[in-house]
Amino acid sequence: MLVPRQEYSRELKMAAMREIDSGKGMAEVARMYRLSPKRLETWRSEWRAKGDLVFPGKGAQPQSNTQCRSDL
């Protein structure tokens, strides 16, 4: 039996990142949000690499309408 993959909102991820930036430890934030420290480390590395553009949502985001409709 497959367990559905857990999904987390952008707001939750950003709130956790703000807590880490404020000086709280990774383990403390993980306990607060009931997350694994490893998951927080993954999010933190993505956040540091991409800044405010991180955690856009589900799936690939289209670059622009012209690229999506270039074959018309």
50 belongs to a structural domain: yes
- Any idea what DSSP says for residue 58? S
8 versus 58: the higher-pLDDT residue is 8
Domain count, the chain: 1
Q: How far apart are CA 4 and CA 26, in angstroms?
A: 26
pLDDT at 55: 86
68 belongs to a structural domain: no
Residue 24, H or E segment: none
Q: How far is CA 36 from CA 1, 26, 31, 33, 55, in A?
A: 23, 9, 8, 9, 18
pLDDT at 59: 56
Domain extent for 38: 23-54
11 belongs to a structural domain: no
14 belongs to a structural domain: no
**Mean local confidence (pLDDT), 23-50:** 93
9 belongs to a structural domain: no
pTM strictly above 0.85: no
The packing angle between helices 26-33 and 37-50, to 10°, is: 110
> What are 1-27's pLDDT values in tens digits?
788 888 889 899 999 999 999 999 999
Kindly tell me if the per-residue pLDDT of 33 is higher than 90.
yes
